[in-house]
Amino acid sequence: MKFLRLFIFAFYFFCFTSTCFAYTVESYAGQFPEQTANVLNFVFCPLNYVSNKLFLRDIERFYAKIKNTKPFDEFYSKIGFYYINLSDKEEDLIFKQKQGFPPIKVSKNFLDDVSTRLKSKYKLIIIDAEGSVSCAQISSIDKTSLLILGKRRYKSINSFNKGFLHELGHSLGLRDECTRCEQLCPPGKPNCATNIEEAEEWWGDLVKRGKADYIRGCCGNRNYIRSSLVSLMNDPDKAENFGAVNECYLRRVLLESEQ
């Protein structure tokens, strides 16, 4: 009997910590298109939701926001929206709370398993209904990376939607454009220059056309340069868009991913 219990424990441990996951990856749109046709894939996971209905409603809001935000509105039909509902046991095995950044560690086996099922890279978006911390890895469109949205951080649905866009910007390579930032990140392309000369090289053509500017304050440093007074990467609550420099960058990486 002792041997049998050990065997059962070992079997379940192996399944949940390797590739034998019981969950399914569901398409929000109700169909599973060829992933190779998508320029970008989102995979949403819920934490601490009282019902699946509320979780799906939040995905619906993000879907609508993407459709009405430049330059994603030009590509939304090729952006895959997927979601995963995990059991409590799977959540405990896959997600671990930790100190530092990011505050949640995700099992690499789980990340690899989702990638295998989608046959592509993706952005894993954990929506924590009870959390108050939001963050994302500064990454690129061709890499799998993690976004965490703590829903309690936001004062309204509109603020929540914009918070999603802000963290998405990070996951695609955009940096914080704030002067006072909670998490400091190093300056760099495409949107945070260390000096005017660098900014002129990166987006001087847009300044000449009156679509951008040289504004001091970026990545927590008052001497760094950003391209717009207010953007979704600077003050999401006040901004309505990413700004010309960021839009041009995002459009380019989406076009490159499409090819």
Beta bridge partners of 146: 124
Chain center to CA of 17: 24
Q: Which residue has the higher pLDDT, 100 or 93?
A: 93
| The pLDDT value given to residue 191 | 97
User: 243 is written with which tokens?
Assistant: 């700004």
The pLDDT tens digits of the residues spanning 36-89 come to: 578 999 999 999 999 999 999 999 999 999 999 999 999 988 999 999 998 888
Q: Look up residue 128 and give its DSSP letter.
A: E
DSSP 55-116: HHHHHHHHHHHHHTSTTGGGTGGGEEEEE----HHHHHHHEEE-SSSSSEEE-HHHHHHHHH
Cα–Cα distance measured from residue 248 to residue 29, given in angstroms and rounded to the nearest whole number: 28
3-state secondary structure of 225: strand
The pLDDT tens digits of the residues spanning 145-193 come to: 999 999 999 999 999 999 999 999 999 999 999 988 766 789 999 999 9
Cα–Cα distance measured from residue 10 to residue 155, given in angstroms and rounded to the nearest whole number: 45
Domain 2-173 bears CATH identifier 3.40.390: yes
Domain boundaries, the chain: 2-173, 177-240
- pLDDT surpasses 90 at 103: no
Q: What pTM, to 2 d.p., does this model score?
A: 0.89
